[in-house]
A = this chain, B = another copy of it.
Amino acid sequence: MKKHIPEKTVARLLLYYRYLYFLLQQGTKNISSKSLADMVEIKDSQVRKDLSYFGKLGGQGAGYDVLALRDMIAKVLDIGQITNVCIIGMGGLGSALASYKGFEALGFKVAAVFDNAANKVGHRLRGHTCLDSKELSKVVAEKDLKVAILTVPGEAAQKTSIALEQARVKAILNFTPVKLSLSKNIKIRNIDLAMELKTLSFFVK
């Protein structure tokens, strides 16, 4: 039971959640750290350590109650709550993410999409009316958006991210290969798809 939770642990909680969800559907009531660890292909001690950040959850000698554990994780991760997000840059990737089912499944709702190309602004794209990037500040404030997904071309990334910061967004999921320089009040997570592919293929030898 500590205060600071590592990022890796948060990521694993979600994996646990998915399996617990599945187990519940099957009617499984109880599970040991070992069984859960096997499903995720990690060590049982890792599971216990991760869970220990959140207090005593399992009866000793008896494993964990699946329902209680799932609910605890759901609460910690705010699963069940809807979180509104916006997407800036409706190119191929942005458009795909605008209708990505995986986000919905975790309670994310794409509440606004932006672009600055005249042939996109004002048009329906993947169920959303594309807004002009100029309206970012206004819309972010109106809808109280805290998280943005950045899928603009690299050249526009830094400029757009400054606009996001000014619009008081709290976090950016950055799909551009550009290192964003912003104040550290704003949390950034980078996903560089080409880099992932390159790193993967490097080890194929």
Contacts and interface: CB of A to CB of B under 8 A. Distances in A.
Interface string A25-60: 000000000000001110000000000000000000
Interface string A90-132: 0011011101101101101000000000000000001000000
Interface string A1-36: 000000100110011001000000000000000000
B100 A93 contact: yes
A31 to B, nearest CB: 16
Interface string A171-205: 10100010101000001010111111111111110
Given A96-B92, A194-B103, A14 B199 contact: yes
Given A14-B199, A177-B18, A198-B14, A204 B170 contact: yes
One complex includes copies of this chain to the number of: 2
A159 to B, nearest CB: 17
Nearest to A42: B179
A202 B102 contact: no
A136 interface: no
B147 A194 contact: no
A10 B195 CA distance: 9
A102 B204 contact: no
